[in-house]
Structure 1
Amino acid sequence: MIEHTVEAGVLRVGRAGARWLSTGVRGGIRVADAAYNVSVPADFDRSDLERYAAERLDRAGFDGRGPVFLTGVDLAHARGARSGPVTVVATAGLSNPAALPLDGEATDAGDPDPDARNPVDPDGDARNSGHPDVEGGALDPEDADSDHDAAPPGTVNLVVVTDRALDDGALPSLLATAVEAKTATLLGTAGFTGTTSDAVAVGCDPEGEPTRFAGSATTLGKATRACVRDAVRASLRSRYADRDRPTAVADAEYGTVTREPSTVFVPR
């Protein structure tokens, strides 16, 4: 049974003895009874994340050793979705969006004039054609308006749990399916691929029904995609019910646009 509760600004999503793969604090593969999403204050500046996470879990009364996420989103905006063998809980904020323009930034090997399509400044950085106060896709703090009343920092965190038993190949596949669904949802909803600090944890039940595959065409993958889509959209609706949502990186307090060129080659 999947349990979820919030105490003292910490969201606990639990399944006894679950096997987790995560990208957050305490990332990697581990066995634990729960994953945690910790809401941090707007002025958060700690760098000792493991210690901070332990302090917050202790304050909330959770004796947990599972994956931990940090978010600037208030947990009042957390939303969950269930479908078949999957439960997803999401918190979503877009104050630090990431964008990946598909406008011919790659350079084909052997291009006779690559700079014609990928103009480069003398210092070697790809030119940014966006907001004048944007450098490399992120607002320059020295140019930002000091009177700007920014929303608290946000990120998109996902906890995905299934009652299936997944092996060492299927668990990463489930994580990839969840990230794919998150990216598609954010592109369709907000025009961004994600934020600069997104994190995902996927957990499975080692005693559940063995499942070898978790791609988008499988029962498990379809359920995950639907749950991620609906949980992320619901969290965004709650988070931005009474405030404007960024529609471009330049509208946000932080963020990035990937404009670096690359060289495309044919493996031989």
Structure 2
Amino acid sequence: MTGSEPAYHAVRRAGVLRVSRPDTEWLSTGWNGGKRTSDAVYNVTVPDGWERTDLDAYIAERLERAGFADRGQPQTDLGPALLTGAKQRDARGARCGSVTAYATAGISNPAALPMDPDGEGERSVPDGDEQPPGHGTVNVIVGTTTALAPGALANLVAVAAEAKAATLLAETGYPGTTTDAIIVGHDPTGEQVSFSGSATNVGAATRACVREALRATLRAHYEGSDSTLPDAVSDAPYGVSTDIRATVFRPSLED
């Protein structure tokens, strides 16, 4: 590997982005997520009108079509995968220190969080909390060559999500979409690191990489295309706004 190549190498093929590094431990918030060790993770673009629900089979088919998997190979053997309606031609990466990040973004399904919602009192969130991941979506993949303690690996998801929300608020006015997902990875053989907060080298590099990759992919997605950022949730095809209110209470104090 030369100095110009990222430690987490990526290639795009047939609507799939593969991010690879041997024997990496990943933690995914996407479909069939959790912790897994594999040589690669994937970001898969689904077509307009996509309605498949057999996601394991669909992902395996797409990876095989892209030449990233053998026929009949179980998806669970292939590494975590994210799904998005955004095109992989707009995927962008960024690197800083030990960290590399990749992002794709579409904001056709913004999820607004107003600080003074119209809803009064306590009421339930509507039924039907599952939404097919085919509308827009902001997907972020982060990898570090350091070895993170279990808590630091989990915390890196929070660091990446915070950076994603801050960047999106600055660029779009929304902290995210209804289907955002994140994968983070680390090298178990690397230099041991106990923490990954924003004041650490890993945390600061992650924040910078997510910001730069996300801003770049947003520009690629919206500049020179027919797509436009929605000015309001009501202008978006699949936007939602959390207008309900929760009930605030004070925890009990025991002597």
Q: Place the TM-score, normalised by the shorter chain, in its bin.
A: 0.7 to 0.9
Moved more, 241-250 or 73-82: 241-250
Q: Determine the C-alpha separation between the residues in 2 that align with 1:25 and 1:153.
A: 15
Structure 1 window deviating more from structure 2 (153-162 vs 64-73): it is 64-73
Q: Does 1:17 align with 2:30?
A: no
SS in 2 for 1:247: coil
The structure number with the bigger radius of gyration is: 1
Alignment partner for residue 34 of structure 2, among 9, 15, 28?
A: 28
Note the residue ranges of structure 2 that are not aligned, 5 or more in a row. Answer: 1-6, 70-76, 128-133
* Aligned-partner residue type, residue 215 of structure 2: R
Amino acid at match of 1:91: T
Distance 1:245 1:4 in 2: 27
Deviation readout 1:61-119 (Å, 9 max, x if unpaired): 1136211011111111000000000000000100000000011x4xxxxxxxxxxx844
What letter matches 2:81 in structure 1? V
Compute the TM-score of the two structures, normalised by the length of structure 1.
Answer: 0.82
Aligned equivalent of 1:82, options 62, 75, 95:
95
Secondary structure in 2 matching 1:194: coil
- 1:129 matched to which residue of 2? none
Moved over 4 A (4+): none
- The CA distance in 1 between the partners of 2:143 and 2:120, in whole Å, is 45
The separation in 1 between residues aligned to 2:8 and 2:247, in whole angstroms, is 46
Please state if 1:254 is matched with 2:238: yes
Contact 1:78 1:89 survives alignment (8 Å): yes
Task: Name whichever of 211-220 and 236-245 sits farther off.
Answer: 236-245
Separation in structure 2 between the aligned mates of residue 86 and residue 239 of structure 1, nearest angstrom: 24
- Give the aligned residue type for 1:41: P
Q: Tell me if structure 2 keeps the 8 A contact 1:26–1:66.
A: no
What does residue 223 of structure 1 align with? 205
AA of the residue aligned to 1:96: N
In structure 2, the residue matched to 1:213 is 195
Amino acid at match of 1:265: F
CA deviation after TM superposition for structure 1 residue 12, in Å = 0.2
- Residue 180 (str. 1) matches residue 162 (str. 2): yes
CA distance in 2, matches of 1:183, 1:214: 18
Percent identity, aligned pairs only, is 53
Task: Name the amino acid aligned to 2:78.
Answer: R
1:174-202 per-residue CA deviation (whole Å, 9 max, x = no partner) reads: 11100000011111111111000001000
Pairing 1:92–2:105 present: yes
Q: C-alpha distance in 2, partners of 1:208/1:175? A: 19
After superposition, the Cα gap between the structure-2 partners of 1:118 and 1:71, relative to the gap in structure 1 and judged at 3 Å, is closer
Deviates more, 1:237-246 or 1:16-25: 237-246
Paired residues, number:
231
Contact 2:43 2:83 in 1 (8 A): yes
Cα distance between partner residues in 2 of 1:162 and 1:32 = 14
Match of 2:247, SS?
strand
Does 2:47 correspond to 1:47?
A: no
CA contact (8 A) 2:144 2:186 kept: yes
* Pair 1:7 & 2:13 matched: yes
Map of 1:63-74 to 2, 5 A cutoff?
A: 63=69, 65-74=78-87
1:267 counterpart residue number: 251
Contact persistence 2:24–2:37 (CA under 8 A): yes
Q: Which of the numbers 145, 148, 163 marks the counterpart of 2:145?
A: 163
Aligned equivalents of 2:119, 2:143: Cα separation in 1: 43
